Amino acid sequence: MPELPEVETTKSGIAPHVVSDRVTEIIIRQSQLRWPITDNLATILTGQTLTHIERWAKYLLLHFQGADSGVLMIHLGMSGSLCIAESGSEPGKHSHVDICFAKGTVLRYTDPRRFGCILWLGAQPHEHKLLKALGPEPLSDAFSGAYLKQLAGNKSQAVKQFIMDQKVVTGVGNIYATEALFAAGIHPKRMAKSISLTRYDSLTQHIKTILSNAIAQGGTTLKDFVGGDGKPGYFKQELLAYGRKGDPCVQCQTPLQEIKLGNRATVFCQKCQS
């Protein structure tokens, strides 16, 4: 479900309720996620204090301090969410993990499709291979048109797949890639190497603007995404291309087309994007 704005929304929704609190209990109802949850997670975390939460790409890094200080990494996959629950409240069908805190708050991980993961990275989280290979944050200065142009080099890969590659830039998924290419007037299938620096400048600016707006709106709720505070995201009403196959283009009224690119639905305007 979540791309960068949704993960950011989750982080800011849950952090005020759990940061600085001490873990009293871990309940694992289902350990088989993308990778299995280590079976000694309760031993590791119980008694430790959650000092802060960091978002890195689409990962949430929960920093714990105590007898076995380190980082718990959580990815929400396609359908995952984290919410704050009351101690003793009834878990849903796919509520796989509860992290219970001393003040009575429960941080609850729910993920119907189980594409997410919960991994204990220990004290050297940045050395983990899943984090090491990641590209720059899209909202950082390191992410620029010049950077993209340089990295595109001689790649014949479609630009949409290029910018969705987390090694190129983190946090951009199918929705925001679709939207940014529409906004920049770039055909999603165009080869990465064939795009000018000027157009990459435009593309990076649109990615930054769209992601910032989405964060400000609390993310995009398509089905049941809710932030940590239980409120839905309001960005969906601002989507101009994603999910609008057949609808008239907002600029030229031409019906939007849908193609498959790397098995992902890709909507674009044949007239405005080249």
Partner DNA sequence: ATTCTACCCTGCAAGC
Partner DNA sequence: TGCTTGCAGGGTAGAA
Our answer to whether residue 260 is catalytic in this structure is no
Query: x/- site string to DNA, residues 32 to 71, per CB under 7 A?
Result: x-x----------------------xx-------------
Q: How far is CA 147 from the centre of its chain?
A: 22
Nearer to DNA by Cβ, of 145 and 219: the residue is 219
**C-beta of 219: minimal distance to DNA in Å?**
7
What SS3 string covers 130-175?
A: HHHCCCCCCCCCCCCHHHHHHHHCCCCCEHHHHHHCCCCCCCCCHH
Contact window for DNA (CB under 7 A) among 10-18, 150-158, 179-187, 206-214: 150-158
Contact window for DNA (CB under 7 A) among 38-46, 107-115, 118-126, 195-203: 107-115
Q: Does 189 bind DNA (CB under 7 A)?
A: no
Q: How far is CA 76 from the centre of its chain?
A: 7
89 neighbors 106 (Cβ within 8 angstroms): yes
**Considering only CA atoms, which of 54, 220, 16, 77 is closest in space to residue 137?**
54
Compute the radius of gyration of the chain from its Cα atoms. 20
**C-beta of 186: minimal distance to DNA in Å?**
17
Q: Quote the tokens at residue 213.
A: 């707006």
**Considering only CA atoms, which of 59, 53, 61, 6 is closest in space to residue 211?**
6
Our answer to whether residue 58 is catalytic in this structure is yes
Segment 236-255, which members bind DNA (CB under 7 A)?
none
Nearer to DNA by Cβ, of 239 and 272: the residue is 239
- Residue numbers at the binding site for DNA (CB under 7 A): 1-3, 6, 32, 34, 57-58, 75, 77-79, 93-94, 112-115, 130, 155-158, 161, 164, 166, 173-175, 219-225, 233, 262-265
List active site positions. 2-3, 58, 264
